[in-house]
Structure 1
Amino acid sequence: MLQVGDKVVYPMHGAGVIAGIENCEVLGEGKSYYVLQMPLGNMKVMIPTDNVDNIGLRDVISMAKVDEVRDVLEDKPERASGSWNKRFHANLDRMKSGDICDVAAVARNLILQDRQRKISSGERRLLDLAKQILVSELVYACGKTPEEVEGWMEEILSHNLH
């Protein structure tokens, strides 16, 4: 059972802290929800307490895993192939895995791809989401502000431009 104050990651949304547990009536049925407060954009997400296992909620990564994320960001980008639509869906599926290293790889590939030739608006939205997910979790994992995390990512990726 999650407690108020727990830091968790909600796949495809990012990391947040359990700010409270609320009961709401939906279609005449009382349901209990975790209120997840996200560090970016002051957003709140409500997650049914009885659905936590199905949606892949997990703990924030350890510092050792942060090193893995850095390695992924430092890695060479993968060659973009196929139509933008095919790439978009491949990236989306990768992000849905909930694995931060997959999200980091998608962000790295799209950022570096965008610097070479502008990416489509659909891929831009995916990049924004990937960065939001990545930054929100790294804020908790590293104990830094979103701005510090973005600066750290930017510095790593600037070495990746060759």
Structure 2
Amino acid sequence: MLQVGDKVVYPMHGAGVISGIETCEVLGEGKSYYVLQMPLGNMKVMIPTDNVENAGLRDVIPENRIGEVQDVLEDKPERAAGSWNKRFHANLERMKSGDIRDVAAVARNLILQDRQHKISSGERRLMDLARQILISELVFACDKTPEEVEDWMEDVLTRSHKKH
């Protein structure tokens, strides 16, 4: 059972803190919701307490798993195949998994692809979302500011993927 103060990740939205549990009336029926406060963008998301499993809510990764994220960021980017539309949908599906390694791979691939030749506006929005989701979780995992996490991420990507 989740509690107020728990740090969790909501796929496609990022990491946040459960700031409360509220009951709202929907179609004449009282329904209980977790209120998730998202630090990036200062957004509030409400998730039905009886739908946590389906929503994909999970705990923020522990600090000892940050190395896995770094490994993904340092890994060779996957070659983009097919039209931007096919790539977009494939990346979207990976991000929906909620797995931080998938999100890191999508962010890495799109960031590096954008550095070589500009990506489409749809892929750019996806890149920004992947980056934001990744940063939001790492902020909680390593207790750093979004700026510190972003600098670290940029440093890892630049060091590992210098242009030849």
For the criterion TM > 0.5, the same-fold answer is yes
Q: Deviations over 1:126-151 (max 9, x none)?
A: 11110111000000000001111001
Alignment partners' CA distance in 2, 1:55 and 1:35: 13
Alignment partners' CA distance in 2, 1:80 and 1:150: 24
Q: Deviations over 1:82-122 (max 9, x none)?
A: 10000001100111111100000000000000001000011
Matched, 1:127 2:127: yes
Partner of 1:161: 162
Alignment partners' CA distance in 1, 2:66 and 2:40: 19
Alignment partners' CA distance in 1, 2:3 and 2:63: 22
Partner of 1:116: 116
Paired residue secondary structure (1:18): strand
Paired residue secondary structure (1:67): helix
Runs of 4+ in 1 over 6 A off after TM superposition: none
Count of aligned pairs: 162
- The TM-score with structure 1 as length reference comes to 0.98
CA drift at 1:27: 1.4
Question: Unmatched 5+ residue regions in structure 2?
Answer: none
Alignment partners' CA distance in 2, 1:82 and 1:53: 33
Paired residue secondary structure (1:98): coil
Q: CA RMSD in A?
A: 0.8
Question: Unmatched 5+ residue regions in structure 1?
Answer: none
Q: Residue type matched to 2:70 in 1?
A: R
CA drift at 1:161: 2.9
Matched, 1:38 2:38: yes
Select between 110-119 and 25-34 the one with higher mean Cα deviation.
25-34
Alignment partners' CA distance in 2, 1:102 and 1:122: 18
Alignment of 1:62-73 (within 5 A): 62-73=62-73
CA drift at 1:80: 1.0
Alignment partners' CA distance in 2, 1:47 and 1:145: 26
Q: Residue type matched to 1:112 in 2?
A: L
Partner of 2:103: 103
Give the fraction of aligned pairs with identical amino acids, expressed as a percent: 83
